[in-house]
A and B are shown apart, each in its own frame.
Chain A
Amino acid sequence: VQLLESGGGLVQPGGSLRLSCTASGFTFSDYAMNWVRRTPGKGLEWISGISGSGGTTYDADSVKGRFTISRVNSKNTLFLQMNGLTAEDTAVYYCAKGQQVYCTTTSCLFDSWGQGTLVTVSS
């Protein structure tokens, strides 16, 4: 299993950024995928998840209404569209593979992770 994130960078407050995660080594559509970020202050924070088909999404309150997770199974790619960025969104963003097609209560742990992409929100 390999997960490779891209799209991070420096963005001004209020700006937007789109992260991508390209997956290989497994049948992408068979597994839920997630975005988890790491900040110096909060450590790891799960922020968004999507079912294998893409039909069901889940977001943490901290990003609800600002971030949108999506996937294109034909291209083995996961996305995170981030709008309305603030300094509190500065973090390393990881894509993480779930263990089942849906991430539900008692099943949502992450068995493979990418190396992360850094997002810095600053003027």
Chain B
Amino acid sequence: IQMTQSPSTLSASVGDRVTITCRASQNINIWLAWYQQKPGKGPKLLISLASTLESGVSSRFSGGGSGTDFSLTISGLQPDDFATYYCQQYKNYPWTFGQGTTVEIK
């Protein structure tokens, strides 16, 4: 299953609301996760089951969608949120990721 994210790069300011989209090449129901990665660190799991926030993750993050189209929204962007975000499908082996979206400071 191919996962396609858009945009590849997103320039935004502190306080902005931003949305990243992820499209699957076939129906994955809600078996989608979102990760955040910062330079020099491993990815951090933010959301599972397309919209379930992991424990300790800020409520600024929200996920949505089902089937083939999904979104990750960050409301009120904070300095700590500038990072690269990946979606991952876990409906079918092999588990695949989107190519990533880098949220950078405008």
User: Which A residues form the contact surface with B (CB < 8 A)?
Assistant: 3, 42-46, 58, 60-61, 94, 96, 103, 105-116
CB distance from B95 to the nearest CB of A (A): 5
Partner of A109 from the list B41, B88, B98 (CB cut-off 8 Å) is B88
Contacts of A42 in B (CB 8 A): 99
User: Which B residues form the contact surface with A (CB < 8 A)?
Assistant: 31, 33, 35, 40-45, 48, 54, 86, 88, 90-100
Alpha-carbon gap, A113 to B90, bound state (A): 17
Contacts of A112 in B (CB 8 A): 45
Q: Is the CB of A94 within 8 A of B42?
A: yes
Contacts of B45 in A (CB 8 A): 109-112
Q: Is the CB of B48 within 8 A of A109?
A: yes
CB distance from A60 to the nearest CB of B (A): 5
